Structure 1
Amino acid sequence: MAVTDAIKIDVNQTVDQLIHLVTYDKKYVIEVANKTNYTLQRVGAYNDSENWPLSDIAQRELAVGQFDCNSFSFAVNYQIEGGSGFIQLAASWPIIGRRKIDVGSINQDGLNPAQTVWNKMDDSNDKSCSNDSVKVRAFIKEQGKTIIWFYEITQN
């Protein structure tokens, strides 16, 4: 089971400053830094292995999901409340293969956009995308023995 937390943030805080706000006690972490004036409303998820650990994410909030398991692979679809459109975030640590990350901006409700982004996820390279309301940047970092899938959402 994931341990989740939410921390209010200043939009000017750097990624390194945000990462140092959290005490890591699990092997894997999903962090979403919502540096916008919009709420990210979870409207769908694709859970191939384990479950996406975060629900809705308030404006100017760092949402953190920490967990231990052998493997995971999932994606989520968030609607941008107060703005327009949707964004998708995907993460994977498979039993066979390598860690992966991806993002998308498919303008559609439900779980299908999350599954589409999950299907195209194929490496651990940094990713980015944007729509009319937000820009998304995603990358994987290590902090001690913890591996962090970090997603930074900024306002356009």
Structure 2
Amino acid sequence: MTIEVLAVPCHTKGHLAYLISGDPSTPPLLFPGDTLFVGGCGRFFEGTAEDMYHALYEVFLHLPKDTKVYCGHEYTMANLRFALSVDPTNAAVRDKINWAKLRRSKNLPTIPSTLREEMAYNPFLRVHDDVIVNAVGGTDPVAVLANLRRKKDSFI
């Protein structure tokens, strides 16, 4: 077993994630703390959109797509409601909402997800997608990420 410490400053300047891998018969496990959530990402408390872009796109999305994501909080329903607001025709978002409602109705967690799943419905992992760009605006992916986070911060 290998445990890697990944520097992913943004939520806080010293924020770390942990990747556990080594057994080829099981997918790697990612513990991203408050950087990546099911359907969302953490606030940019001490970092910038550039920092979060680096963490999400240059660190996490370079991992195998079957990597299981064990995020730090159960924010799934709130994140998915926001995802639906910026991408209302995304069937993956709707399916995940239905699945999450069922899980929560049984008092079961919605964690973990996988990177592959997150890439289908998490708007913060889709800032290159025209649907997300058109929903929040921005001239480049980092600007789209910043606009998306601002919109999420004021979402009720």
TM over 0.5: no
Q: Which has the higher contact order (CA 8 A, sep 6+)?
A: 1
Using structure 1 for the length normalisation, give the TM-score.
Answer: 0.24
- Structure 1 or 2: larger strand share? 1
Identify the structure with the greater helix proportion: 2
TM-score (norm: length of structure 2) = 0.24
